Structure 1
Amino acid sequence: MSEPRRKLVTGLTWISIVLFVVLVVVVMWQVFTRQVLQAPSAWTTTFSQYLFIWLVLFAVAMVFGERGHVAVDFFARLMPRPAQRITNIRAQVSVLAFALLGLTWGGLRGMAISWDQAIPGLPVTVGQMYLALPIAGVLMALFALEDLVRAARGEDMLAGDDAQTEAAIDAAEQKGA
């Protein structure tokens, strides 16, 4: 993993942790006000829903950056190396297209449509809350672009445990040689 990518993934990890902690505190406050005070807080339900969306989007970008996402590559690994490379390139182009068109462009359009739409009980608008979509889209697009370049070069891009296993095997082979 490149150093800029590692730093970005670490930043996303901390953002996800902070969002999760805030989400837990907000939900606990919601339960406390409803069950103990018998006066539910008006803002907590809406805020926790948007907070959860932000958490999911940034956590997905973080996992994508770690290459820890679900990858069904069983059949791709059975193909000859040139076909694996082409399959990998197609997959990265698809992810890049989704990140740019679906999340970034779609998120920007959603923000534009709802920028001035107020959220009852919160000091922000719906459009401002939709800001997480294009941010996550740009981050995922950056990761996908780096992965696309690596795939075009023919570099192996094993995900998650496979990469760790491969590194351990390489280290053992070098140690024995």
Structure 2
Amino acid sequence: MHTLSKIFDKVLATACVALFAILVATVSWQVFTRQVLGDPSTWSEELAKYVFVWLGMFGAALVFSERGHISVDVVVRRFSERTQRVVAVAVQLAVIAFAVTALVWGGARITVLAWGQSLSALPSHLGVVYLVVPITGVIITFYAGSHLASVLRRGEAPVASAGPVMES
């Protein structure tokens, strides 16, 4: 499972870099056509919005793989290691439940409903935009399952290690 997780990490990181490059190029083109040419591009603003959605969803999944999302664990850290593991298992099960119901199932439903709707400025369908939701749901479900298995077999700490402390 660890090998598959590393493959997902590399694919997601590559996708995020590619999407970010497309986003920068698209927004730069939009600014150039608007400010320099005086004739704004009709498609670039819409593409930038949808690329940003895909980038945000894939980025969220990648951060989830690294256990990098914000968590308020000040109380949990005071518990025994056994209780921390119980809480970690409960959290991962809740994440799996949310990812499967809201992202995979709900995302698939909205994707199907929106598939026939054409985008106004791009030769595509709105369903393509929503397709990222179930895809990300499957990826997050995989990562949560991986974290769950790792916590149960004591391969990782039940509470993610704190990052660097920022001083003001």
Instruction: Compute the TM-score of the two structures, normalised by the length of structure 1.
Output: 0.86
Instruction: Check the 8 A contact 1:111/1:131 in 2, yes or no.
Output: yes
Q: CA deviation at 1:71?
A: 2.4
Q: Which runs of 5+ in 1 are unaligned?
A: 165-177
- Which letter maps to 2:103? L
Please state whether the residue corresponding to 1:150 is helix, strand or coil.
helix
Distance in 2 (CA, whole Å) between partners of 1:50 and 1:67 is 26
Q: Which runs of 5+ in 2 are unaligned?
A: none
User: Quick one: structure 1 residues 10 and 159, their matched pair in 2 at CA, closer, same or farther if it must change by over 3 Å?
Assistant: farther
Would you say 1:20 and 2:20 are equivalent positions? yes
Whose helix fraction is larger, Structure 1's or Structure 2's?
1
- Which letter maps to 2:115? W
Identity of aligned pairs, percent? Answer: 37
Distance in 2 (CA, whole Å) between partners of 1:161 and 1:83 is 19
- Which letter maps to 2:79? M
Would you say 1:66 and 2:59 are equivalent positions? no
Larger RCO (alpha carbons 8 Å, 6+ apart): 2
Partner of residue 132, structure 1: 132
Q: How many residues align?
A: 163
- Which letter maps to 2:131? L
Please state whether the residue corresponding to 1:74 is helix, strand or coil.
coil
Instruction: Compute the TM-score of the two structures, normalised by the length of structure 2.
Output: 0.90
Instruction: Check the 8 A contact 2:33/2:39 in 1, yes or no.
Output: yes
Instruction: Check the 8 A contact 2:73/2:159 in 1, yes or no.
Output: no
State which structure, 1 or 2, has the greater radius of gyration over its C-alpha atoms. Answer: 1
